[in-house]
Chains A and B, each alone.
Chain A
Amino acid sequence: MNSSSRIWNRYMIILGILPGILVFIAITLIPSVTTAVLSFTNISGIPGAEWEFIGFDNYREFFVMQNSRDTVMYFKNTFKFAFFVTVIQMTLSLLIALLLNSRHIYRKLAIFARAAVFLPQVLGVTLVGLAWTAVLNPMDGPMSAFLGLFGIKKTAFLSDWDHAIDWVILIQIWLGMGFSTVIFLAGLQNIPGDLYEAGVIDGTTGFQAFRYITLPLIWPQVTVNAVICVIGTLTNFQTFYVTTAGDFNTMTLGMKMFMTAFGGGRSSLQGGAGGFLRQGYAAAVAMILFLIVLVFTLLTQYVFSRKEEEI
């Protein structure tokens, strides 16, 4: 302890942190932990409704009693979305970062392109989702016309029963790209240029320079991006909420959790409540999702730190 903290009234310091700590405990910590408790109840979102503890019934319903085709679909969609978004977004954003960091590209243009790629992050999921709904309009929308140039027959895009989720994956990648790109760019800009010059003298090729100089040095950024992307995509439901509303075989665990608890789907966009707001059951889905996120986050961190040693 130093002199200033001894002179200042300790209670004033504590008074200063109190609002932040209280809000954290009351609005984040307690509710978050209580999710586990509510997953063993049949509590509903309807005001004044009675509720009681029902043991593992919600979990049993999810895994055993409900149509297994639905359960399998939630898992399949959740993992498909998380896997493809993470892999494609990481790969493309690293390539984009390398492109924008290239000394062959005119600097001001690179900065403009960085701002353009980051724009969706500022516009947010609602505007991005609606803009893409317009671009993917099956009735003579621009994507439809564009694909027509290559002789690809008309599809319903976001209302296609077999492929709607692929288009949501595309929208999510477009939306999330800005974040991972600027993180990679910052990592690349921290690499001292003389490392490459030394490489040139040693006769390294472009790919070797990437593999043995660039990649090891930006590995911390690769790990950060991977963890953020895995968590973000596994828990995502906002992107589905504004594009497909979970229709057309695009229901994921996150979306199932949210829609069971608060209604949703197309009817709610017009103000209808919809559903019975079975929040005890939804809390069980939230807990299942939590365990999945926990396992995959630890797994991602483990895999990437192991790789770090190899590299």
Chain B
Amino acid sequence: MKLNLAKKLILYLFLVILLVVYIFPVYYVVNTSLKTQQDFLANPNGFTKTFAFENYRLAWKNANFSTYIWNSLFYTAVCTGINILMAIFLAFPVARRYLKFSGLIVTMFVSTLFLPDATIPRFQIFLRLGIYNTRLGYIFWMLGINGVALMFFVSFIRGIPRDFDEAAAIDGCGYMRYVAKIIIPMMKPAISSMAILNAINIWNDIIGATVILRSDKLLPITRGLLNFSGSYSVNWTQLTAAMLIVAMPLIIVYVFTQKYIIESVVASGLKG
């Protein structure tokens, strides 16, 4: 009994260390963002005495977030929507083996993980197509079906009985209408978790934006934040406030959907 208690205490000690390691940086950023510049300089590591929400207003203005946030919302919505639709219309016939090369298609998408980095030729192609430094170019840059999402959809669709297909086909329901009206509504849980993962990836992208966008007015917010960090690297109170502005949508989504996000990552990781 005594041994058990000691064991329990040690385990909880490790758990506390783990939580401190993971929560401290977040706490530190929040704490710093609430300090006035003087408070921060006098007392960089102590608990904040002020609630300087002014930092958020200044960061919003100085980092030019009012432009970037609309860009990011636009890119994220458009790319996530297209990516998910493409993945569904590919996953359905693959799952049902309505096409000859179903197995090959999945292998092809998964194997991209091992291919050479495509960034340079892709940039050259976009440059020659005249879509460098355009919204269209950035949207195309972020398009693509994730092999993991494809496998996730395929295995989900296999759980939907084939009888539905046959009944609908015999009743004269066209293919496109069937997928749109019957399959998509049944895939809601799978679609929402993959859409969230995809949206997070697009919101967080900096590499695509660095490569394909030059004009300030086209940048997504995360790239904008990185630029801001370059010019405000010593103004920690404003920089941390800017970081939290960018993090806020992510944190809100995460708080409400963390269970689904983690489960879908697990499901896709185990198949990969």
Contact = CB atoms under 8 A, between A and B. Distances in A.
A4 B182 CA distance: 14
Interface residues of B, number: 99
B99 A13 contact: yes
Interface stretch (B55-63, B106-114, B185-193): B106-114
Interface string B143-184: 111000000000000000010011011100011101100000
Interface residues of A, number: 106
Contact of A17 (B89, B123, B203, B230): B89
A73 B21 CA distance: 31
A125 B162 contact: no
Interface in A139-178: 139-142, 145, 174
A303 to B, nearest CB: 17
Main secondary structure of the interface of B (DSSP, over half): helix
A238 B201 CA distance: 13
Contacts of B121: 30-32, 34-35, 37-38, 283
Contacts of B99: 13-14, 17
A126 B114 contact: no
Contacts of B247: 123, 127
B206 interface: yes
A289 B15 contact: no
Contacts of A110: 15
A183 B11 CA distance: 21
Interface in A84-117: 96, 99-100, 102, 104-105, 109-110, 113-117
B140 A27 contact: yes
A235 B207 CA distance: 13
Contacts of B124: 34, 38, 43, 45, 279
A119 interface: yes
A137 B117 contact: no
Interface string A212-242: 0000000011001000100100010010011
A115 B270 contact: no
A120 B8 CA distance: 28
Contact of B11 (A5, A30, A105): A105
Main secondary structure of the interface of A (DSSP, over half): helix
Interface string A254-277: 000110011010101111000000
A174 B22 CA distance: 8
Interface string A1-42: 111110111001111110111011011111111111110000
A238 B117 CA distance: 14
User: Which of A14, A116, A220 is the most central at the interface, judged by chain B CB atoms within 10 Å of its CB?
Assistant: A116
B18 A224 contact: no
B138 interface: no
B22 A270 contact: no
B199 to A, nearest CB: 11
A266 B270 contact: no
Given A45-B123, A262-B210, A134 B239 contact: yes
Interface of A: 1-5, 7-9, 12-17, 19-21, 23-24, 26-38, 43, 45, 47, 96, 99-100, 102, 104-105, 109-110, 113-127, 130-135, 137, 139-142, 145, 174, 179, 182-183, 185-187, 220-221, 224, 228, 231, 235, 238, 241-242, 257-258, 261-262, 264, 266, 268-271, 279, 282-283, 286-287, 289-290, 293-294, 297
Q: Which 9 A-B pairs have the closest CB atoms?
A: A269-B230, A124-B204, A34-B121, A16-B89, A31-B118, A20-B86, A4-B169, A31-B121, A31-B122
